Amino acid sequence: MATPKPAAPPAPKPLVPETWFDVASQRSYIIGVGVVLQGIKLYEVLRHYIPQLQGSSLSWLLYKWSFVDIAYILSVPLLRIPWLTVPPYVRIRLILVAVLFNWLLMGNCKIPTSLLIPTSVRSMFDYQMSISEHRVRVQDVVQPGQHLSGQHTVRLSPVSTAELNPQGLRFCFAPSQRHISVPVLVNNTIPHNIKFSIESLEDASDIRYVTVDRHGLGNLALVQRYPSGMPEEEFGPEPPKCKALEANTEGQNPLQLEDTKGLVYIRVDRPGVVRLESILDSTDEEIRITRGGSVTIPQCPSVSFLVDSREPHAIPRCQGETFEGTLMVKGVPPLAVQYWREFDGKREDLYANGIDDDTKTSRGVQTIQVPVPLDLPRPGFYSYGLTSVTDSLGNTITAANLPSGTLDSFTVNVLSQPMAEWMGCSVDRPKSMAKGEEMRLFLRVSNGNVSDAPWDVQVQHTAPDGTVSERIHHVTAHDLRYQTLEYALPGDYTILSVKGKLCDGVVKGPEVCRILVWPEPSMTVKFEPIVDRNCNVETGFMAHVVFQGTPPFSLSYVVKKDGRVVDTRQIPNIQSTQYDLELQPSQGPGSYQYSLTEFGDNHYKKQQPSHQTGTVEQIVHTIADAQLVTPPQPIKLWSCSGKTVNVDLKLQGVAPWNVELQISSPRETNPLRISGITSKEHTVSVALPSDIDEYGGHFEIALVNIEDQKQCKRALNRPRIGVDVSRNKATARFTGVAAGTRDIQIIQGDSTKLPLRVTGDGPIRVRWENVNEGISQWTSVKGQNEDLDVRHAGQYRLLEVIDAHGCPGYCDEQVSTSITFINRPTARWPTSAGELDKYGNIVRKPICEGIPDHIELELSGSPLFTVSYKHEIEGNPSELPPVEVSSPLKSARIDLASYPSGKHIYTVEGLKDTNYGVRLSDLPKLHQQVLAKPSAFFKSDTRLPFCLHDSFVRRNGYPNAEILLKGQAPFDVKLSIRNSDSSSRKVKVIHVESNEWDVEFPDYVFDKIGPHQVRIESVTDASGCPEARSPHDLSTLFIDVAETAAILPMETRSDYCVGDTVQYQLEGTSPWIVTYDFNGRESRPTSKTAKFSRLAEKPGIFTVTSISHQNNLCVTNVDNVKAIIYDLPSAAVAPGRSAVESIREGDQAQIEFSFTGEPPFTFTYQRSEISKKGKNAKVLETHTITGHKEKTYRFSSALEGTWTVTFIADKYCRYPPIPPATVEVTTETI
C-alpha cells in the first residue's frame, strides 16, 4: 500500500493585506515601479551622452543604479506576492544580470555609441555648437521637409472580375441553421447589383432567382467587404490594407487578398444548387464571372443508432447470443459512416461506406437504415459510438455536431454463463458420516455476472438403493462464494441445472456428490487371572479385548474395592483391533471388581458393552512387594555433592523385610543387601562406585528381590534409578591481549575489553578486581569466551569462580597485563618564535609588507594533527571561522600573513590528533608587526602648462605638482626631469620630513617647447623596507611647454553650405580661446580640444581673427582664415503637395517640378509603385538631369506610379548633403 504524500504547506500570504490591494494589483504596482526605475536609469545615461543636458558622471551612475537594482531585487520577495517570490538562487542570477548590464552601459568599457543609442534617437539629441554660439540640431538647421516636397501619383483603372466560392468551401444546412453566407471574390470593382439562383436538389425545375442591389440588401444577401483601389470620394484618400479570409473549419490556409480584391457574401436560405447569374458595377457594366460559378448546398448529413431495447445505454446479453444494431443514416448518397467499438480498454475504428438506396433516383437527401451485425464473442462491456458521417459532397459531421436527441453511443453488457459444481466431493471421493448425523456439503457457483444474480441451482437426491427422490432441492446463491448445504440422508446428490436471472448456466464436474454411513463398532472381552508363581496367589486379571470398527479405538474401565470405586481410567488412541489390558489391585488385599464401562472408535463414541462380557470379580491376598521412588529425571551429582546418594523405598507385605539392590556402572556391578527394614517407607544411602566417584559418569540403582516375614521371596522388575555424576570444576583465566606482555593503551573516557576463557557448567560467575583500586565485582559468563569491559587504567586480577551449581572452581588469582591511557596532544611555540612580552604574548620580529614568513608549531601526540588558529589584525577583529592546518609530522607550518600592514595576532585555539581534540587556551598568542612598503606618487596626473623659459616653481592661480608619500617618515625621494625629445635628464634626491611635498626646482628652466616628463625614480623611508611600486600613470607627471598657439583649416575649400560643419585644427596646449567674426558679430569661445568646429546654421561670412592658449598667456593674430556659407537648394513637385490623378489606358498625365537656388541645377527624380500603407514602395525607374538652368521642369507620362524628386543640387550646395565620414564614438568612464 502506497504511503500518502504529506499535504503541501499553505502558501504564505502577501505582506500587504489583500483587503488593501488584491494580489493582481500589488503585482502590477511592483512591476510598474521596476519599469519606471529602468526608464529613469536610461534617461540619466542619455543625459551624460548629450552635452547640453549636463548629466552626471558614468562612475557615479554605475554605483547608484547598481545599488538601486540590487535593493529592488532583494526587497520584492519580502512582499510575498505570488509569482514574484523567487528562490534565492534566482535572485542572485538577477543581481548578476543587472550589474553586468549596468557595467556594459555605464562601466569603464568602450562600446560604440551606435550600439547604445539608435541613429533615430541620436539624431533627435544630436546638438552641435553653431557659429552663433548656440547649440542646435542639424535637422533643425537643414529642415529636410523644406527642400524636397510633393509627389504626383498616376493611377490606371483595371479589368473587373468575380468568382463564387474562391476556396471551394463545402456548405450544408444544419437542422437549426436558417441561412448560409457564400463568399464571392471581386477584383477591381464594387458590385452594385448581384443576381443569383437557387435550384432545388429534389426538383430541377424548381429554381428561385434572387436579385440584390447595393442599397437594398435584405435577408438574402449581404456585402461584407469591399476592395481597395476605388475613387477617393467613395473610399477616402487612403486605401485599405491587404485582408485575409480567416481559416475555415476544414483547416485550409487563409485567402490572402490583394489591394484590388474584396469579398462579397451572398446569403442563401434553403438547400440547392447556387449559381451566379450576373454582377453589375456602378456603371451597370457586367462583371466577368470566372470559373464554374456554382456551389451545391444540401442539408447536413446525420446518423443515429437504432437499438431495440428499453435500456439503450446498458443492453444486457448472454454469452453466445447474437445482437444486431441499426444505423439510421440521412444525407445525399452515397454516404459513409465511421464508428468505433471499445472492449477491454481497446478501441477499434469501424467503417460503413457506399451507403445508398438503389431504388430511389432523387439527387436530394435520403434516409437509409443500415443493419450492422455486432459480434459478441467474449463476456464484458462492448461500447459502440459514432465518429462521423460524410455525404457524397464531402460534408463531414462529427459526433459532437449531430442534432440533439441523437443516440450516438450505446453499451452491450455480455454476461458470462454461470457454472455450478461440488467442492471436495464426488463419486470417486465420497463423503462419509456417522449414523444419525448431518453432512455439510459445499456447492460453488462461479463465472457469473453480478447483474445476473441471484442464481438458482437444482439438486436431486438418489438413495443408496437407487430410489430417486421426486423432490427437487432449489439452492439460491446471491453471490459467487461457496454455498453450504446440510443433508442427513446417505446417497447421491446430483446438480441438475444452474440458472441466473437472465442467463442459463453450465454444470461442471463433479456434478454428483456421494454420502456414505459408517458402520457401528463392537467389542468382545476375555479375562485371564494373573498368578504370582513365587507365592502362588492371584494378583490381578489380563483382559484380552477384540474391537470391530474404525481405529483409533478408546476404552474406559472402573476398579471397585469392597463395593467402593477406587480407580477410573480411560485409554485413548488404541490403533490395533486387539488390545491386552492388565488389571491389578492398587490398594492392597481385598475384594475387587473390574468393569469395562465404555468403548468407541473413530466415528462412534461412548458405546456401552454388555454387563456379562465386561465385568469380573477377584479376591486379592497380601504379598511382599517393593519399589523405588523414581524421580522424573536422573539424579544429578556435582563436584561438591559428596560421595553418596540417597534413594527412597516403598515396601508392601508383612514386616520385617529384606531387600537386595544392584549398583551398576560401566566398569563394575555391586550388590547391596539391606535387612530388617520395619518401615514401609525407607531411605537407603548408596555409596558411589569408585570410578564414578573419581572421574564422574553415569550409574544405575535397581531392585533385585524382596523377602517378607512369611519368607515369601519375590524377584522384582521395577524401574531403575539413574544417577549422573559430574566431577568437573569451573575454571577462569585471561587470554589474548589480556594475558600478553605488552601494555594495552586506551583513550581516556573509552573502554577496552579483556578476553576471558572459562570452563564448566554455565552460567559461571567470576569475581575480579582492579589491583590498583582494590574494589572487586562479579561478572556472569554465559559462554566459554567472554570479555570484561573495563574503563580504568591499571592491572586486573581474577579472585574467584563459581559454576551454575554453586561449586567453586580454579582461577589461581591470575593478573592481567597493564592498561594505560594514551596521552593527550600538546602544542608549543618553538624557541625561535620570538620574545615573551610582559603580557604573556610571543612577539615575533617585524617583517616588511609582501615578505613571506612562517613558523613551525611543535606538536606531540598521535599524527595526523589538525591545528585551528585565528588570525586577526589589531583594531580590526575578524568574524571569519578559524583556519585549520593539517600535518602528518610532529610540527605544523603556520604561514604568517604579510599583507596588509599593521600588527597581526595569531591565536591557536584547538588541536586534534588521531585520538583527542583539545582546546589550547593556555598557549600564548603570537604578535607580529607587518611594516608597510614606502611609496610615492603624484596627487594628480593633470598635465601642467608652462611657457618657454619658465622656472619649475609654484605659480599662484595654476595647478602645481604635489607628491603624496606613504610609509614611515622621513623619506628620500629620487626624481628625474627630462624633455620627451631628449635622452638627457636631470636627477635630484630630495629629503622629505612629511607625507606630502610640493615639487619645486627653481634652478630648472624650460628651455625647449614640447612635453616634459617628471618621474619618481625611487623612494625610501625609515623602515628600510623595499619600495612599493606605484601605478605608472601616477609615478609620472607631464608638463606641456608651449611657445604660441595656431589654428589651421582641416579642409582646403572656403565655400560651405548651411548644415555643414566648419572645422579647424588647434595647435598648442588646451584650453584655447578662439576669436572670430560672423556677419559683423564677434565671439570668443573656449575650446578644450584640439579640434574646433562650428555648425553653419545660416548663410554668411565666417572669419577667425585671433587664437590664444595656456589660459590666454600668449595671443596670436590670424589672417586669411575665412569661410563663405551658402543656403541649400530645394525642389517641389506639383508644386509641393501630394497630387493623385486617375487616367484611362492610352491617356497621359502632365508632371511638373520647380526649383530654388543658384543655377545650374542637377536633380534626380524617380517613379515608384503606388505605396501601400506599412510597406515600402518599389522603385520602377530613376532619371538624373544635369546642367538645367531653368527653375521649372515639365514632362508627360502614361505610366502608373508615384513621381518624386530625390536629389537637388545648385551651383554651390546639394540636398541631401554628402554625409560626413563615419567616426566611431566611444564612451569611457572618467
Say what the pLDDT of residue 1221 is: 47
Most confidently modeled of 233-242, 319-328, 364-373? 364-373
Say if CB 747 and CB 570 are below 8 A apart: no
Say how far apart CA 938 and CA 1014 lie, in whole Å.
10
Q: What is the CATH number of domain 935-1042?
A: 2.60.40.1930
Say what the pLDDT of residue 830 is: 92
Measured N-to-C along each axis, helices 58-75 and 23-49 cross at an angle, to the nearest 10 degrees, of 170
Q: What is the mean pLDDT of residues 421-443?
A: 86
Question: How does pLDDT run across 625-653, given as a tens digit for each residue?
Answer: 788 888 878 888 887 888 888 888 888 77
Q: Select from 1001, 1096, 1093 the least CA-distant residue to 1050.
A: 1093
**DSSP labels for 921-939?**
TTSPPEEEEEEPPPEEEES
Q: Which CATH superfamily is domain 826-931 in?
A: Immunoglobulins (2.60.40.10)
Q: Select from 578, 579, 580, 559 the least CA-distant residue to 569.
A: 559
With 60 as the cut, is the pLDDT of residue 222 above it? no
CATH class of 302-415: mainly beta
With 80 as the cut, is the pLDDT of residue 117 above it? no
Ranges assigned E (strand) in 874-983: 883-887, 891-896, 902-912, 917-919, 926-931, 935-938, 944-947, 951-952, 962-966, 971-979
Q: What is the mean pLDDT of residues 703-716?
A: 81
Say how far apart CA 402 and CA 176 lie, in whole Å.
11
Say if CB 549 and CB 522 are below 8 A apart: yes
Q: How confident is the model at residue 11 (pLDDT cuts 50, 70, 90)?
A: low
Q: From the centroid of its chain, how far is CA 295?
A: 58
Options 2.60.40, 3.30.160, 1.10.3470, 1.10.1660; CATH of 419-515: 2.60.40
Ranges assigned E (strand) in 399-536: 409-415, 419-423, 431-433, 439-446, 455-462, 468-477, 482-487, 491-499, 506-507, 512-517, 522-532
Percentage of the residues of the chain whose pLDDT score is greater than 90: 10
Say what the pLDDT of residue 287 is: 80
Say what the pLDDT of residue 55 is: 54
Say what the pLDDT of residue 827 is: 92
With 70 as the cut, is the pLDDT of residue 309 above it? no
With 70 as the cut, is the pLDDT of residue 1119 above it? yes
With 80 as the cut, is the pLDDT of residue 318 above it? yes
Say how far apart CA 964 and CA 213 lie, in whole Å.
98
Q: What is the mean pLDDT of residues 552-581?
A: 88
Say how far apart CA 511 and CA 693 lie, in whole Å.
77
With 60 as the cut, is the pLDDT of residue 295 above it? yes
CA atoms within 13 A on the CB side of 398: 3
Q: What is the mean pLDDT of residues 703-711?
A: 81
Say what the pLDDT of residue 254 is: 59
- Architecture of domain 158-244+254-297 in CATH? Sandwich (2.60)
- Architecture of domain 731-821 in CATH? Sandwich (2.60)
Say what the pLDDT of residue 742 is: 78
- DSSP classification of residue 105: H
Question: How does pLDDT run across 36-66, given as a tens digit for each residue?
Answer: 888 888 888 877 766 545 556 677 788 888 8
Q: Select from 417, 365, 411 the least CA-distant residue to 392.
A: 365
Say what the pLDDT of residue 162 is: 86
Domain segments of the chain as ranges: 23-146, 158-244+254-297, 302-415, 419-515, 536-620, 625-725, 731-821, 826-931, 935-1042, 1128-1215
- DSSP classification of residue 313: T
Say what the pLDDT of residue 7 is: 46
Say what the pLDDT of residue 250 is: 43
With 70 as the cut, is the pLDDT of residue 1225 above it? no
Cell of 594: 473390574
Q: Select from 331, 361, 328, 293 the least CA-distant residue to 173.
A: 331
Say what the pLDDT of residue 1042 is: 73
Say what the pLDDT of residue 298 is: 92
Say how far apart CA 196 and CA 183 lie, in whole Å.
13
Percentage of the residues of the chain whose pLDDT score is greater than 70: 89
Say what the pLDDT of residue 1032 is: 58
Q: What is the mean pLDDT of residues 199-224?
A: 67
Q: What is the CATH number of domain 1128-1215?
A: 2.60.40
Q: What is the mean pLDDT of residues 1160-1186?
A: 87
Q: How confident is the model at residue 237 (pLDDT cuts 50, 70, 90)?
A: very low
Say what the pLDDT of residue 1220 is: 57
Provide the 10 A C-beta neighbour count for residue 680. Answer: 13
Torsions phi, psi for 985 (to 5 deg): -145, 160
Say how far apart CA 652 and CA 1111 lie, in whole Å.
157
With 60 as the cut, is the pLDDT of residue 1039 above it? yes
Q: What is the mean pLDDT of residues 67-78?
A: 85
Name the β-bridge partners of 1114.
1109
Name the β-bridge partners of 338.
351, 388
Say how far apart CA 208 and CA 220 lie, in whole Å.
12
**pTM over cut 0.85:** no
Question: How does pLDDT run across 525-536, given as a tens digit for each residue?
Answer: 888 888 777 676
Amino acid at 942: T
- What's the angle, vertex CA 960, arms to CA 958 and CA 965, rounded to 5? 155
- What's the angle, vertex CA 885, arms to CA 882 and CA 887, rounded to 5? 155
Ranges assigned E (strand) in 1081-1160: 1081-1083, 1086-1087, 1091-1095, 1100-1109, 1114-1117, 1122-1126, 1130-1133, 1138-1143, 1149-1156
Q: What is the CA radius of gyration of the chain?
A: 64
Q: How confident is the model at residue 1223 (pLDDT cuts 50, 70, 90)?
A: very low
Q: What is the mean pLDDT of residues 949-965?
A: 80
Name the β-bridge partners of 1041.
946, 1010
To the nearest whole number, what is the mean pLDDT of the chain?
Answer: 81
Say how far apart CA 768 and CA 147 lie, in whole Å.
123
Higher pLDDT, 277 or 117: 277
**DSSP labels for 469-502?**
EEEEEEEEESSSSEEEEEE-S-EEEEEEEEE-SS
CA atoms within 13 A on the CB side of 1145: 3
Say how far apart CA 697 and CA 683 lie, in whole Å.
23
Torsion of CA 1092, 1094, 1100, 1106, to 10 degrees: -30
Question: How does pLDDT run across 1181-1222, given as a tens digit for each residue?
Answer: 999 999 898 989 988 888 889 989 999 999 889 998 876 544
Count of positions (residues) in the chain: 1230
Cell of 930: 607587518
Q: Select from 1027, 847, 1029, 1031 the least CA-distant residue to 934.
A: 1027
3-state percent breakdown (helix, strand, coil) of the chain, nearest 5: 10, 50, 40
Question: How does pLDDT run across 818-861, given as a tens digit for each residue?
Answer: 888 888 899 999 988 899 888 889 999 999 988 899 999 999 98
CATH class of 625-725: mainly beta
Say what the pLDDT of residue 219 is: 32
Q: What is the mean pLDDT of residues 510-517?
A: 88
Q: How confident is the model at residue 265 (pLDDT cuts 50, 70, 90)?
A: confident
Domain 536-620 and domain 625-725 have a common topology = yes
Beta-carbon contacts of 285 under 8 Å, excluding residues fewer than 6 positions away, are: 160
CATH 1.10.10 for the 536-620 domain, yes or no: no
Q: How confident is the model at residue 216 (pLDDT cuts 50, 70, 90)?
A: very low
Higher pLDDT, 211 or 1069: 211
Question: How does pLDDT run across 901-938, given as a tens digit for each residue?
Answer: 889 999 999 999 988 888 988 899 999 999 888 888 88
With 80 as the cut, is the pLDDT of residue 215 above it? no
Say what the pLDDT of residue 932 is: 86
Say what the pLDDT of residue 642 is: 80
